[in-house]
Homo-oligomer: A and B are copies of this chain.
Amino acid sequence: MKKYLKVDPWLIIEDNFNPDNHRSSESIFSIGNGQFGQRANFEEDYSGKTLQGTYVAGVYYPDKTKVGWWKNGYPEYFAKVLNSTNFTGIKVKIDGESLDLSKCEVLSFTRVLNMKEGTLSRDFVAEMSSGKQVQVSACRFLSMAKPETGVISYSIKPLNFDAEIEFTPYLDGNVVNQDANWDEVFWKQIKHEVDGNEAYLQTQTKKTEFDVANGMFVKSYLDNAEINITLENSSKEGFVSATYKQKISKNSELKILKYISVLSSLNHSRESILSDAKKVVREAAAEGYDKMLADHKQKWASIWEHSDIIIEGDAEAQQGIRFNIFHLNQTYTGEDERLNVGPKGFTGEKYGGASYWDTEAYCIPFFLATAPPRVSKNLLLYRYKQLDKAIENGQKLGFTDGAALFPMVTMNGEECHNEWEITFEEIHRNGAMSYAIYNYVLHTGDEGYLVDYGLEVLIALSRFWAQRVNFSEEKKKYVILGVTGPNEYENNVNNNWYTNKIAQWTLKYTLEAVIKVKKANQQKYSALIQRLKLDENKEYKFWNEIISNMYLPEREDGIFLQQDGYMDKEQLTVDKLDPKHRPINQKWSWDRILRSVFIKQADVLQGIYFFENEFSNETIEKNFDFYEARTVHESSLSPCVHVVLASKLQRMDKAYELYLRTSRLDIDDYNHEVHEGLHITSMAGTYMAIIEGFAGKRVSNGKLVLNPQIPEKWTSFTFKILFRGSQLRIEFKGGVTNIENESEVPATIILKGKEYRIGGNDKINIKI
Contact = CB atoms under 8 A, between A and B. Distances in A.
B494 A568 contact: yes
Contact of A595 (B471, B474, B482): B482
Interface stretch (A204-212, A247-255, A286-294, A419-427): A419-427
Contact of A472 (B492, B567, B587): B567
A433 B571 CA distance: 31
Contact of A588 (B66, B398, B479): B398
Interface in A560-582: 564-565, 567-571
A565 B565 contact: yes
A591 B482 contact: yes
Contact of A590 (B68, B424, B473, B587): B424
A72 B585 contact: yes
A68 B398 contact: no
B569 A481 contact: yes
B68 A474 contact: no
Given A72-B585, A419-B69, A568-B481, A397 B592 contact: yes
A228 interface: no
Contacts of A471: 570
Contact of A396 (B564, B567, B571, B589): B589
Contacts of A564: 564-565, 568
A47 interface: no
A71 B590 contact: yes
Contacts of A589: 71-73, 396-398, 424
A470 interface: yes
Interface string A590-612: 11111100000000000000000
A397 to B, nearest CB: 4
A131 B554 CA distance: 83
A567 B398 CA distance: 22
* Residue with the greatest number of chain B CB neighbours at <10 A, chosen from A397, A482, A588: A482
A568 B474 contact: yes
A397 B73 CA distance: 30
A65 interface: yes
Nearest to A587: B72
Nearest to A422: B69
A748 interface: no
A527 interface: no
A298 to B, nearest CB: 44
B67 A591 contact: no
A572 to B, nearest CB: 10
Contacts of A593: 72
Interface string A403-424: 0000000000000001110001
A236 interface: no
Contacts of A472: 567-569
A361 to B, nearest CB: 21
A531 interface: no
Interface string A482-513: 10000000011111000000000000000000
A475 interface: yes
A130 interface: no
A302 interface: no
A537 interface: no
A586 interface: yes
Nearest to A474: B567
A72 B492 contact: no
A481 B590 contact: no
Given A482-B591, A492-B491, A595-B481, A72 B586 contact: yes
Contacts of A475: 568
Nearest to A397: B589
A470 B590 contact: no
A704 B217 CA distance: 93
Contact of A571 (B65, B69, B473, B495): B473
Nearest to A491: B492
B73 A591 contact: yes
A589 B425 CA distance: 11
B69 A479 contact: no
Contacts of A493: 492
Nearest to A477: B568
A419 B470 CA distance: 28
Nearest to A568: B472
Contacts of A73: 588-591
B67 A68 contact: yes
Nearest to A73: B589
A398 B580 CA distance: 13
B425 A591 contact: yes
A637 to B, nearest CB: 17
A418 B398 CA distance: 27
A685 B436 CA distance: 55
Contacts of A481: 565, 568-569, 595
Contacts of A594: 482, 492
Given A67-B68, A68-B67, A471-B570, A420 B591 contact: yes
A373 to B, nearest CB: 36
Interface string A455-488: 0000000000000001111110001011000000
A279 B16 CA distance: 71
A743 B4 CA distance: 84
Contacts of A491: 491-492
B567 A473 contact: yes
Interface string A752-768: 00000000000000000
A476 to B, nearest CB: 11
A464 to B, nearest CB: 13
A68 B65 contact: yes
* Residue with the greatest number of chain B CB neighbours at <10 A, chosen from A65, A398, A475: A398
A496 B568 CA distance: 14
Interface of A: 65-69, 71-74, 396-398, 418-420, 424-425, 470-475, 479, 481-482, 491-495, 564-565, 567-571, 585-595
20 contacts: A67-B67, A67-B68, A68-B68, A71-B589, A71-B590, A72-B585, A72-B587, A74-B590, A396-B589, A397-B589, A398-B592, A420-B590, A424-B589, A470-B595, A471-B570, A472-B568, A481-B568, A491-B491, A492-B594, A565-B565
Given A67-B68, A72-B586, 18 more contacts: A67-B67, A68-B418, A72-B589, A74-B590, A420-B591, A424-B589, A470-B568, A470-B570, A472-B567, A473-B567, A479-B568, A481-B565, A481-B569, A491-B492, A492-B492, A495-B568, A564-B565, A565-B565
- List the 10 shortest-distance A-B pairs measured between CB atoms, nearest first: A73-B589, A424-B591, A482-B595, A71-B590, A472-B568, A474-B567, A481-B595, A397-B589, A470-B570, A492-B492
